[in-house]
Amino acid sequence: MKKREQYNQLANLFRYPDESYKQQVAECVKMLKEDYPEAYTEILPFFQFIETKDLYEIEEVFGKTFHIQAICFLDLGYVLFAEDYKRGEFLVKMKDEQRRANNDCGNELADNLPNVLTLMAIMEDETFLDEFAARIMEPSLTKMLAEFDTARMELKDKVRKKKQKVILMEDMENKNIFQYAIQSLLNVVKQDFKNIEYNDPEIIPTLGGNFLKSCNTGCSTTPQLVKTN
């Protein structure tokens, strides 16, 4: 079985910050430096921010990024499908996978990014994991990163001004710092699953209908999976 403890450490980057957050980030960054040099370079701006800010400042940026007038969301079903009915189907299947793996999701949804990452760390079916990484994780993280585009964020702010007249925490310094953590995570996923390809990439936009199909013992669609050397 491949080494997968890194996903437990990466999950900690996206949990709501508490007193242990700085230490957890430092441990994750140390792991990246040793095992994923490119991802380590990408995460440095995020790490430097976390090191130099007080907890309340980190909480504020986390809230701005993922909760209050969020730049993007941590629930992958919403990231992939927004309000489409497939979001509900995806969440149901994720609950099944989390239950099958006996992964405690706490107070968050089964498709919340930290819970998905801890699931990846303990999945026993490596064929299913390969598919999950290629067809769920990579598209989700890519979509999340796209939300940090400056023009897109400015458009969202304009819409909020019209609807709410004021913007909470407007022009907050480093409000997009978490994009570096997401980019680093995407780099790790791509490196770990670099030999996984699909013959039908056009199927990706309809993940909910073709991936995580109703099944009793795992949901892999292995005929479409191609491993390259």
HEC string of 98-154 equals HHHCCCCCCCCCCCEHHHHHHHHHHCCCHHHHHHHHHHHHHHHHHHHHHCCCHHHHH
Q: Strand, coil or helix: what is 198?
A: strand
The tens digit of pLDDT for each residue in 144-178 reads 999 988 655 555 555 555 555 544 444 445 558 99
Total number of residues shown for the chain? 229
Average pLDDT, integer, range 80-89: 90
pTM of the entire predicted model:
0.82
Average pLDDT, integer, range 79-99: 93
Q: How far apart, in whole angstroms, are the C-alpha atoms of residue 48 and residue 175?
A: 14
Which pLDDT does position 170 carry in this prediction? 45
Average pLDDT, integer, range 174-188: 90
**Considering only CA atoms, which of 159, 123, 174, 115 is closest in space to residue 140?**
115
∠77-2-218 over CA atoms, to 5°? 45
Q: Are 130 and 189 in contact (CB under 8 A)?
A: no
Q: Average pLDDT, whole number, for the chain?
A: 82
Q: Strand, coil or helix: what is 225?
A: strand
